[in-house]
Structure 1
């Protein structure tokens, strides 16, 4: 690897309710913790939570480099890390220094990411991926399959891991049905493809023409326009489930009516996985009391589940819809697109052009 410079370009949150500031900052990792790695970021991706950080909702200490969705190349490895070496291609995990002794850290596997004693979250309470280099916890990262590109991988660090975690908690079997409210968004279009790869029948619900089109393109068995109103949506879901409604539902939309719609299209005694993060989640009491709908919150997935997700992506040629911007100075344009209401998929920032070109020259058919 080339020599690591003293300075790097980064997009920082320096003041809440203000745009990112693009400026040079010191490269981290001069004194590397034994469990850490320094990564040369190839691609950083923009997530809904980044907007929450900018608004001060996450209690972030400033300044902070944005983005918790990143993929890149290892350039420096802590003395206690044996699984990775310099030159490895990895997906960054936003979790930093779990305590590894609490009940959640000890398992079950699908709950390990809930450590209450965590050392921080990249791009939220620690510097993230909108930079040329990033300091990460080497025990939390995942190796990228050879055919998964940096551009496709970066959004999987949170968007992919989050919707995959919801599917894990849904606990459905092949042949069962799942509804995804917000099925044509950044998380939703991945959820559609993951669910199909797991053999599920997918009902994608969205309120945008772009979202409905993307969900259909990604393989949804049924698409339903939420703008028709809850009663019509329920009617259409009943039609394709023999009147039973969906076996489980993922809600990845933060619209004020989305959770209620999600509960309404879920079968009696079924589970609604609440993934979106609006200020309040509103569901009519009838859904809880008269139909026994169980609402289960779901964060990201564990490291072990994340590696399984990457294997599914690799094996099933899952496509990550991205809108690429070249260089960290283009972050404001990515934010503008995300707020336009016209975006399909995820905005990504291409940071290490050489690494991306090397992928293209590898001879592999990259996803």
Structure 2
């Protein structure tokens, strides 16, 4: 079977298409014919600088893939050939809080990823996908979808009538927009593009802010909320935007901290003085994935895909990710 591998430290030039042998699935394993991958900024980071992330080479990249079961190993129950499935970002995080063992099972980094025609995955590291979704749509769920769901539901305890602040229009933020709107929350979303903000408005955003034309966007958010601030912020920017997110979040509100995109320094004092909860969020467990899929199926929600690429053109997908012009998710179809 063919697979893309990170073979050296030359960035995207080090990504090579290889022919690999795949053994029969072992006990507790499931062989999956991958039909689509979705890419995340984390995948681009791993390819761009595997040394910084202590990734052993060669390594198959990407955490997010969906496909169909070809065969099951000894002892596997709950899956059969033909089932439509997606792999979990963490192959060893079933439920409860994250652990060191779970962190060591992140696909496309600590262990082999899914940018391949076929992969053997743990049976307890798979979930069945909603019937109404295509493989490309289902491939967007394991990282961006589940990260947004965890930020809003178990961490943010979102309820109807709450106000949510989202930064940018990448995969996590657009999933959070869809989920929050579905749950009856009011969404404020930022972007440097008026065109993207118009698309977000069409998806249900309550208010929008162009942070390029309004650099003090946290003040705009406070004005929109009559000085109170938002109940929950999904912070994907990083240290460079966190201070503004702290200012825009109400007293005793919550910030789901996800991003590493913008560097900078943070004064932690307002976190204390405003009694904020700031929770680091790194995807989620298999059981949370199942919970999210039930909600997606019930609402027949469809992920937003900006553009799809052929398997042979995978490097171009990462170049498009790097250019940061997309709205929603980028997908590689196999």
TM-score relative to the length of structure 2: 0.91
Shift of 1:230: 5.3
Shift of 1:228: 4.0
Instruction: Give the 3-state SS of the residue equivalent to 1:122 in structure 2.
Output: coil
Q: Does the 8 Å CA contact 1:161/1:300 hold for their aligned counterparts?
A: yes
- Which residue of structure 2 lines up, in the alignment, with residue 215 of structure 1? 200
Aligned pairs for 1:61-80 within 5 A: 61-80=56-75
Structure 2 distance, partners of 1:260, 1:208, is 22
1:186 aligns with 2:171: yes
Structure 2 distance, partners of 1:279, 1:245, is 22
- Which residue of structure 2 lines up, in the alignment, with residue 292 of structure 1? 275
Q: Does the 8 Å CA contact 2:67/2:84 hold for their aligned counterparts?
A: yes
Residues 258-288 of structure 1, C-alpha deviations (whole Å, 9 max, x = no match): 2112111100121111011348674333422
Structure 2 distance, partners of 1:273, 1:177, is 14
- Which of 75, 81, 93 is matched with 1:86 structurally? 81
Q: Does the 8 Å CA contact 2:241/2:262 hold for their aligned counterparts?
A: no
Shift of 1:315: 2.5
| Structure 1 outlier segments of 4+, above 6 Å | none
Structure 2 distance, partners of 1:321, 1:175, is 24
Instruction: Give the 3-state SS of the residue equivalent to 1:227 in structure 2.
Output: coil
Structure 2 distance, partners of 1:265, 1:122, is 34
Aligned pairs for 1:254-265 within 5 A: 254=238, 256-265=239-248
Shift of 1:300: 0.8
TM-score relative to the length of structure 1: 0.83
1:175 aligns with 2:137: no
- Which residue of structure 1 lines up, in the alignment, with residue 54 of structure 2? 59
- Which residue of structure 2 lines up, in the alignment, with residue 26 of structure 1? 20
Q: Does the 8 Å CA contact 1:27/1:133 hold for their aligned counterparts?
A: no
Residues 304-335 of structure 1, C-alpha deviations (whole Å, 9 max, x = no match): 11112122222223232224444321111111
Residues 57-99 of structure 1, C-alpha deviations (whole Å, 9 max, x = no match): 321111011110100001111222211111100111122245x
Residues 143-190 of structure 1, C-alpha deviations (whole Å, 9 max, x = no match): 1121111111111111111111111201122211111122x1121111
Gaps of 5+ in 1: 1-7, 99-104, 352-367
1:142 aligns with 2:127: yes
- Which residue of structure 2 lines up, in the alignment, with residue 330 of structure 1? 313
Instruction: Give the 3-state SS of the residue equivalent to 1:33 in structure 2.
Output: coil
Structure 2 distance, partners of 1:211, 1:257, is 21
- Which residue of structure 2 lines up, in the alignment, with residue 159 of structure 1? 144
Aligned pairs for 1:241-320 within 5 A: 241-254=225-238, 256-278=239-261, 282-320=265-303
Gaps of 5+ in 2: none
Deviating more after overlay: 156-165 vs 338-347:
338-347
Q: Does the 8 Å CA contact 1:70/1:92 hold for their aligned counterparts?
A: yes
Aligned CA distance change for structure 1 residues 146 and 289 (closer, same or farther; 3 Å): closer
Structure 2 distance, partners of 1:64, 1:81, is 26
**What root-mean-square deviation, in Å, do the aligned CA atoms of Structure 1 and Structure 2 show?**
2.1
Structure 2 distance, partners of 1:310, 1:122, is 20
Instruction: Give the 3-state SS of the residue equivalent to 1:60 in structure 2.
Output: coil
